[in-house]
Structure 1
């Protein structure tokens, strides 16, 4: 089952980043592990991911929460749906060259709504951002 989930995650990233839309910013995300409803990714922060202060852009962090919780929903058998609510709490800055881990998990997948969470940590396992994402999937 895990290998099917990993195949699905690779296809999700490939599909997402091949379109001409904003999601192309996710092109360097690497799926690391996955089971239905739980996914782990990594990303080495490069120059294109930075804000003017030289740290990981908050908008990209929010995009990671949005896109990767959507991947988790899809691995749990849900549809990509549309966002109803997205919340991100930023706790620590990340600099260029650091690798981050992104753990996305489905808390509940209902008939109409999916509730998810996403933890983003630095190389030392310190939580740098946490997101909650609710999507209409029905």
Structure 2
């Protein structure tokens, strides 16, 4: 009796899309968990004083926003531009523009991960999880991929 040297499953093939997705998740998920835990710890107000707390959108009324007419921060302008662009172009092009913006203006680098994460969530809503994930690339670590994953779960 001769045994085959090809590694095969019980059904006689190497594995399909489910196996590839499983392998991808096995590689990406630990990175996403570490990064999200790191980001969560940095957002905690460790001083105990409420003056350093994070202001959310629900804390500000629309009347306050419209009456002050404060110019937007560069990272907010970039986020809005890229989110708008995502409605008309594929996420790969948008991620390229994000990388170019960060390269051209290094002060935006600290906001890159949050912008890429938001783009990933939006891309998942528009394209679905598997198609959006196909556009992932190493712009701002794995923030785009973690955004897709967060929106999918």
Give yes or no for TM over 0.5. no
Question: TM-score normalized by structure 1?
Answer: 0.33
The structure in which a higher percent of residues are strand is: 1
TM-score, normalising length from structure 2? 0.31
Higher relative contact order (CA 8 A, sep 6+): 1
Q: Which has the larger radius of gyration?
A: 2
